[in-house]
Structure 1
Amino acid sequence: MFTHYIDLAWRSLRQTPLVTFLMILAIAIGIGVTMTTLSVYHMMSTDPIPDKSDRLFAVQLQPMDDGETWATGDDVPYQLTYQDAINLQALPGDFLRAPMIRAGFSVHLNTPQSKPVIEDARVTDSDFFSMFNLTFIHGSAWTAAQAQSAAPVVVLDEEMAQQMFGKTDVVGESLFLGERRHEIVGVTQKWRPNIKFYDLNNGAFGKAERLFVPFSHVKAYDVDTWGNTNAWKFEETRDFNDKMNSEMVWIQFWVQLDTPAQRQAYGDMLMAYMQQQQKLGRFNREELAYGLQDVNAWMNYNKVISEDNKILVGLSFMFLAVCVANILGLLLAKFMRRAADVGVRRALGASKRQVFYQHLVEVGMLGLLGGAVGIVFAQFGLLGVRQSYDYYNNLASMDWMMLLSAPVIAISACILAGLYPAWLVCRTTPATHLKVQ
């Protein structure tokens, strides 16, 4: 019977090509707009590292004196001071940790043919690569000895290696970061997370860095941050050494804690550290506080998805509702024009339920066709987003979940629009139309 309904629906759609075209166009436009905004929202809210998001934690400390506040709900800064980052890096324990900053260099090969490029860099510890799932295709991260001695070494991703050398196997070769020559010790696969979750303080949707240097370079070569630096009190900083010894916060710090027991132990270490620092004249507060939030909690804490994004998705569904209202009017006109045919079917023995289901199959087919065209419209919408906002480049795309959702939403919307017209036409009195026939 369902196959018969499909056949009837297809014939009906072909009998009224103009009305069918208008209805498909209406639902396609509604789906195109809705799926454009919904896809971006979906990619923003997707877990960026699902296999370990509950084991990676952003570390926060509250260094301010009593009475001082911060622009967060819990008065805890997003970042750490340099001295706290160094001290936490030295804490004992068998867990991965990574202090880090966003920096940048003029990158070149020191040859007449090499055009310098300004490139962001991640200044961090070697644990960063395993913590955030970067895969090496050549070489490896720098050694502990190289980090301790602040050796001029660098790790590139394959795209950066290809850009600079025309190949990816460049381990052992050198390039210049500014005026300093660095030896390449490793090359990673291209790494482009949709959300730069490990450094939300400097932009959630920026591009991930393509080169990496040891965190010890901060002190050894006065490598300053290209990100945000904040302070809660005035301090005279005449040089970079003063900044490193100040209460300014500008370092991000992440740890990987694989078990609840590890997390509890690390929290206890943080509290003990702050109490020890309190005896040295810092952390002058009655109640000490720290933050230890996993990836998804950290994104919520930093409001990665703003209210504007949610409102935009809501407005797109309202636009879809307008399209559905237009389809409802067209369906009413179309179905009621077929009242005489329905009367004959009823007289020949078709039940109200059968007539109702027949028309719902027709509007469902309409939704399927409109959803398919809507996906094409959405692709053009997402292309426009990518071209207009470069930092949305990874987000403005449709994954398999969104591709499946588009026809489901379209069919549901059309069925919703067709419920009243189908109910109205199935109540047709056969005798009224038989007299006319």
Structure 2
Amino acid sequence: MLLHYLDLSWRSFKRTPLVSFLMVLAIAIGIGITMTSLSVYHMMSADPIPEKSSQLYNVQLQTMDEGRTWWKYDNMPLQLTYQDAVNLLNAPVETNKVAMVRSGFSVHLNSDTLKPFIGGARLTTPDFFDMFNVPFIYGGVWTQQQEQTAAPVVVLSEKINDKLFAGENSVGKMIYLDDLSYEVIGVIADWQLTTKYYDLNNGAFNDTEELFMPFSLLEANEFNNWGNTNGWKHEVTHTFKDKLQSERFWIQFWVQLPDEKVKNKYQDYLLAYMQDQQKNGRFNRKELQYTLRDVKQWMAYNDVVSEDNKILVALSFMFLAVCLANILGLLLAKFLRRAPEVGVRRALGASKRQIFLQHLVEVAMLGCFGGLLGIVLAQIGLLGVRQSYDYYSSLATMDLTMLISAPLIAITTCILAGLYPAWLVCRTNPAIYLKSQ
């Protein structure tokens, strides 16, 4: 019976090609605009590391004196001081932990064969690669001994390895960052995240870094950081050492806590650490505060998906509703025009249910065609977003979920729009049209 209904629907499309085309186009435009905004929203809000998002926690410590406030609703600084980050790194807690900061250098081979270029770098600790599932092509990460001795080593991204060494295994080779030489010990595969969740302070949708180096090089070589540095009181920091010992916030810190038991143990340690620091004259507050937020909580806390994005999605669905309102009028006109034909079918034994289902199949086909065409229009819209807003280039795409959702949304909304016209036409009194014949 379904095949028969599909055949009748196709015949109906061919009898009224212009009206059918206008309805498909209206659906496609509505779906195209809706899926453009919905796809960007979907990629923004997607869990960037679902296999570990509930185990990775960003650490925040309330180190400001009593009465000092921050711009977030809970007054918690977004980053840590250098001294707190180093102390937490050296904590006697057996779990993966990472301190890190963003920087950058002029990259070259100290030759005239390649023009120097600027490369973004992340100064971090060895656990970074395991915690955040960074895949290697060649080599591996530096050792704890190399971390402790501030060894001049570097891990390259696949992109920069292609640029410097034509994609060959570059482990053991030397590159120059500014005026210092570093040994390549590893190359990671292309690792572009839709949301750079591990460092939301420097842009949630920026590209990942091209260079990865030991965190200890920060102090040894007095590297500048490429990111936010915030303070809450006046401090004289004439030298780099002054900055390291200051109360300024500029270091990101993450820990991996695989279960609730380990998490509770780490929370106890944080409280004990803050109490110990308070005895040393820091953390001058009545109530000591710290926060552990997992990946999804950290993204929500930093408003990765803003209210503007949500409003845009809502407006796009409202536009789709306007398109369906226009389709409703066309469906009423089209279906009621077929009332004599429906009357004859009813007289020949077709039930109201069969007439109703036949017309619902027809509007479902309209939705299917409109949804498929809407995917094409959405791809054009996403291409425009990528070309106009480079910041959102990794988000302006449709994954499998969105590709399947487009025709499903189109079919569902069309069926909803066609319920009333289909119900109205199936109530046709066959006697009226038999008499007129």
TM-score between the two structures when normalised by the length of structure 1: 0.99
Residue in 2 that maps onto 1:310: 310
Residue in 2 that maps onto 1:155: 155
Residue in 2 that maps onto 1:49: 49
Residue in 1 that maps onto 2:402: 402
Does the aligned pair in 2 maintain the 1:158–1:168 contact within 8 Å? no
Distance 2:168 2:373 in 1: 41
Distance 1:29 1:270 in 2: 54
Residue in 2 that maps onto 1:329: 329
Distance 1:262 1:423 in 2: 60
Distance 1:417 1:118 in 2: 55
Q: Which amino acid aligns with 2:152?
A: P
- Does 1:423 find its partner at 2:435? no
Distance 2:346 2:135 in 1: 67
Deviation readout 1:76-101 (Å, 9 max, x if unpaired): 10100000001000001221111001
Deviation beyond 3 Å, 4+ runs, structure 1: none
Residue in 2 that maps onto 1:96: 96
Distance 1:144 1:42 in 2: 39
Distance 2:212 2:390 in 1: 23
Distance 2:414 2:258 in 1: 48
Distance 1:160 1:434 in 2: 79
Residue in 2 that maps onto 1:7: 7
Distance 2:325 2:163 in 1: 53
After superposition, residues 71-220 of structure 1 pair within 5 angstroms as 71-220=71-220
Q: Which amino acid aligns with 1:423?
A: W
Distance 2:208 2:390 in 1: 13
Q: Which amino acid aligns with 1:413?
A: T
Q: CA deviation at 1:294?
A: 0.6
Distance 2:88 2:316 in 1: 46
- Does 1:64 find its partner at 2:64? yes
Distance 1:102 1:226 in 2: 5
- Does 1:17 find its partner at 2:17? yes
Deviation readout 1:147-202 (Å, 9 max, x if unpaired): 11111110001111001111241000111111111110111111111100000111
Distance 2:181 2:89 in 1: 27
After superposition, residues 220-231 of structure 1 pair within 5 angstroms as 220-231=220-231
Distance 1:169 1:73 in 2: 49
Does the aligned pair in 2 maintain the 1:194–1:394 contact within 8 Å? yes
Matched position secondary structure for 1:328? helix
After superposition, residues 319-358 of structure 1 pair within 5 angstroms as 319-358=319-358
Q: Which amino acid aligns with 1:114?
A: L
Residue in 1 that maps onto 2:263: 263
Matched position secondary structure for 2:172? coil
Residue in 1 that maps onto 2:31: 31
Residue in 1 that maps onto 2:246: 246
Q: CA deviation at 1:384?
A: 0.9
Identity of counterpart residues, as a percentage? Answer: 63
Distance 1:196 1:135 in 2: 16
Does the aligned pair in 2 maintain the 1:45–1:305 contact within 8 Å? yes
Distance 1:348 1:397 in 2: 51
Q: Which amino acid aligns with 2:271?
A: M
TM-score between the two structures when normalised by the length of structure 2: 0.99
Distance 2:415 2:139 in 1: 57
Structure 1 residue runs of 5 or longer lacking an equivalent are none
Residue in 2 that maps onto 1:235: 235
Q: CA deviation at 1:136?
A: 1.4
Q: Which amino acid aligns with 1:158?
A: E
Q: How many residues align?
A: 437
Matched position secondary structure for 1:181? strand
